[in-house]
Amino acid sequence: MPSSISRYVVTLLLCLSSLASQALAADQPEKRTISLTGSGAIKTTPDMVEISTGVTSEAPSARVALDENTESMTKVVERLKGEGIEAKDIQTTNFSVGPVYRRERDGTEPVIVGYRVTNQVRITLRDTAKLGAILDKVVSLGANQIGSIEFGVSEPEALKDEARKLALKNATENAKVYTEAAGVGLGPILSISEQESSYQPRFAPAAARMEAAAPAPIEAGTASVQVRVNVTWELN
């Protein structure tokens, strides 16, 4: 019996304590706040570029098409390494062998007239100034496909930190405008949340098939990093 009374007393004290806390919270005025979104962007000159290139070969037989493709692609890769591009920066992205069909005008079934072999690699070039010369060299050695050309930066996270600072500064400046217009003071920050951050490399268009020509005049332009934050302040 005494233990039951003790449990009852403890439960009663906890309930009274909770009611007292709720009453105290109700007596305190609700904090006045302001919440705004700020954005920051950093633009920079790209220090790297990724290129998709490759060789497509066609011949009456799959064996001949493969041999011709292998010979050209080997020259391309060897030349890339000779230009100082490391093996880790050359990655095969597609290799395929398939028949080439001819459709007859009389409506009969298409017939196989040859075979097509495609070998594509993705190259990371860490000196953007060499891009035009590299494209010229790989095309002269047999590369007849240039896909995407993507300019970017090797360490975008460092740029994101700078963009975050700008985003917070932008939100704070806007908050000061509102509070001054309302005749109130801007108090301490209650919360900061990052809504969005993005890294936007620059893409340059490239023809699907190319012939040997003079070094292509491709400009790197700028890459950008953007951040949006939501900030809440207490009003004084």
CA atoms of 45 and 151, how far apart (whole Å) = 9
Mean pLDDT (whole number) for 87-108 = 91
In a domain, 122, yes or no: yes
User: In this predicted structure, what is the pLDDT of residue 171?
Assistant: 97
CA atoms of 99 and 29, how far apart (whole Å) = 78
- Find the range with the poorest average confidence among 65-69, 89-93, 156-160: 156-160
In a domain, 100, yes or no: yes
> What is the domain range of residue 116?
49-154
Question: Is the model's pLDDT at 30 over the cut of 50?
Answer: yes
Strands (E), the chain: 33-44, 48-59, 90-102, 111-125, 145-152, 186-200, 202-204, 223-235
Number of domains in the chain: 1
Higher pLDDT, 194 or 24: 194
User: In this predicted structure, what is the pLDDT of residue 208?
Assistant: 38
CATH assignment at residue 73: 3.30.70.2970
CA atoms of 165 and 225, how far apart (whole Å) = 12
Question: Is the model's pLDDT at 39 over the cut of 50?
Answer: yes
In a domain, 53, yes or no: yes
Higher pLDDT, 221 or 205: 221
In a domain, 166, yes or no: no
In a domain, 84, yes or no: yes
For residue 79 the two structure tokens come to 């030349």
CA atoms of 120 and 34, how far apart (whole Å) = 54
Mean pLDDT value across the chain: 83
User: In this predicted structure, what is the pLDDT of residue 154?
Assistant: 85
CA atoms of 201 and 225, how far apart (whole Å) = 9
User: In this predicted structure, what is the pLDDT of residue 24?
Assistant: 45
In a domain, 43, yes or no: no
CA atoms of 80 and 138, how far apart (whole Å) = 8
Mean pLDDT (whole number) for 37-51 = 92
In a domain, 42, yes or no: no
User: In this predicted structure, what is the pLDDT of residue 207?
Assistant: 45
Mean pLDDT (whole number) for 40-53 = 91
Model confidence at 27, pLDDT cuts 50, 70, 90, reads: low
Mean pLDDT (whole number) for 44-62 = 93
Question: Is the model's pLDDT at 63 over the cut of 90?
Answer: yes
In a domain, 60, yes or no: yes
Answer yes or no: pTM beyond 0.95: no
